[in-house]
Amino acid sequence: MFHKFKYDLRGVELPERFNNPFHYLPHQLCVVAERELRICLTKDPYVFAESFMGKMYGVLVVQAPSGEIGYLMAFSGLLTGKNTYEGFVPPVYDMQQPDGYFKQEEACISAINAKISKIEESDDYISAVKALETEREKAKNAVAEMSALFKANKEERKRRREAGFLSQEDEAQMVRQSQFEKAELKRTRAAWDAKIAEKESAVALFTELIETLGAERAERSAALQKWLFGQFKVLNAKGESKSLLEIFDEKLSVLPPAGAGECAAPKLLQYAYANSLKPLAMGEFWVGRCPERGEVRRDGCYYGACKSKCEPILQYMLQGLDVEDSALEKGGDISNVEIVYEDEHLLVVNKPAGILSVPGIVGGMSVEQWIREEYLHRNDIFVVHRLDMSTSGLLIVAKSVEVYKSLQNQFLKRTVVKEYTAILEGVPVNSEGTIDLPLASDYENRPCQIVDHKNGKLAVTNYNMLEIIQYKGKQCSLVRFNPVTGRTHQLRVHAASPQGLDCPIVGDALYGTNGDRLMLHASSLTFDHPVSGKRLVIECKACF
C-alpha cells in the first residue's frame, strides 16, 4: 500500500504541519501523488469507466519509520462493487466479508424485501387493489349522480315555492320528498361504504402483512447499522481507538449517518496509524464527470472533507497530529474594512475577503460587530444584506431599525441593483446570458448548496464576460455578474455548475479549487436612499 514517488523529490520541501482537511491548498507532493494515482486508474477498464462517471479519491503523503517518503491511495465508498482494490488502502472495517455477520444479516433483510415485492407483485394483491379502486369510483359516481338529481329536485321545489299558489297538500308532499331524499342519500352512502369496507378488508390482508414485514425490516436494518458502526473502530495519532458509535454519541448525541467511515480520508489515516506511517499531507479530489444532480464536483479539483460524515471522525483521528489552523476559523484582518459612503442614516463599507458580515460561530470579528463596538460604539447598527465570508465588496449598514427595514424591503422587492466582478477558471461558452438554476442547501455538507430542480428555490443570474485574461499562467475570464435573486452561494454555484457556466470562480474551495482568496467582489450597489429617496450608485472596484 506504501507507494514510492517516481518523481524526483530533491528540492521539494516537506510540509511543516499537517494540512487542515476541511480547508487547504494541496501540497505539491499531493498533486504529484494524484497524477500517479490517475495512471493507476487507466490500467483497469472497469475502474477507468467507473472513474470517468465521477468518483472521489484521496492521497496521503506519509513518512516511513526509515525516513522514506511515499504516499497512500484511497477511494470513497466502493470501487467496482468492492471495498478493497489492489494498491489502495483497505476499509476501516470490511463489511463485505462473504461469511461475516453483516453480509448474513444483509441477506436476511434482502429476503424480507423479496417477500414484500412478491406480495406487492402478486395477482391476488393487484386484483384486490384494483377491485377496491373500482368500488370507490363506482361509489363516487353513484353518490354524485344521486346528489345532482336531489339538488335539482331541491331547486325545483324552491322555484315552486317562490312562484306561490301552493296548496297545503303540495307543501306537505314537497317536505316528504325532501326528507325522503336526504334519508335515501344517507342510505346509499352507507351501502357503498359497506361495499368499500369489504374490499378494504381484502386489501388489508395483504397490507397488514406488508407492514409487519416492513417493521421487521426497519428494526433489523437499524440494529445492523448500530452493530456496524460499533465495528468501525478508528485510531488517532495518540494510539487511541474509538468506535464511530462512541464518537458520534459524544460529539453530537446521534447515531452515525449512513456511509460514515467509508470516505477516503478516514481510510488513509487509519492505515497510516496502523502501520506506523507518519501523515504529512492529505488531499481528496474528484475524478471524472460532475454528478448530474446535487453537489458540484469538478475533475481535478480538491475538496475539503464532508461535514456530516467526516468532521466528527477526523476531529478524533487528528488528535496527536500538529494540524494547521483553518483559515475559515481565524478570519481576516478586520482593520482592513473601508468606509466607502456614510451619512447620518446609513453607511456602505468595502468588506475584505475573509471577514464575516454578521457574527458567526467561527471567523473572528464581523463587520457588524466592528461597526458597533469599534467604529460607532452603538448597538442600533444592522447589516442589511450579507456577503459570503470569502467574498469582498460593498455591504450596506443601517443606523436604525427604520432604515434597516426600509432597505431590506428594497432587497425583498428586488429593486436593488447588484453588480459583482469575478475571475473565472477558463472561458464560458457564451459571452453573456442568464443562468436560471434553482438552489437548495446540501444538508449533509453545509454550507454548500446544490442545484435542485425539484425542491430548490428560484435563483437567477445575468452575466457578461468583460475580457479573457491570464491569471497565474492560466487562461481565465473577467466576468460581471448581476444577480436577480440573492441565494446563498448563488454566483459560486452558477459559475461552477456544468448546467451554468462550467467555470468556477478562481479560489473557490467549495465548488472549484482553493486559492489565496475567492476572486469574487461586490463592486456596485444601486438603491434608493431610505430617507431622501434619492437613487444612490455606490461603486468600489475589485483589487484583483
Buried b or exposed e, range 188-206, using 16+ CB within 10 angstroms:
beeebeeeeeebeeebeeb
388 is catalytic: yes
Which residues, in sequence order, are CB contacts of 340 under 8 Å at separation 6+? 348, 349, 350, 394, 538, 540
Find out whether 332 and 366 touch, Cβ atoms under 8 Å: no
Look-up of cell digits 443562468 = 435
Question: Grid coordinates standing for 322?
Answer: 500538529
What sign results for the dihedral spanned by CA atoms 82, 85, 38, 425? positive
Q: What is the DSSP letter of 373?
A: I
Q: Inter-axis angle of helices 101-121 and 168-231, to 10 degrees?
A: 160
Strand extents, DSSP E, 249-353: 278-287, 338-342, 346-351
CB atoms within 10 A of CB 231: 17
Length of the chain: 544
The rounded distance, in Å, linking the Cα atoms of 94 and 96 is 5
Neighbours of 414 (CB within 10 A): 13
Active-site hit among 388, 442, 452, 508: 388
Burial bucket for residue 13 (CB in 10 Å: 0-12, 13-18, 19+): exposed
Q: Residue 13 CA to chain centroid, in angstroms? A: 36
d(CA 304, CA 246): 24
Cα–Cα distance for residue pair 169/172, rounded to 1 Å: 5
Peptide bond into 447 cis (omega under 30): yes
d(CA 236, CA 248) in angstroms, rounded, equals 15
Show which residues are catalytic.
388
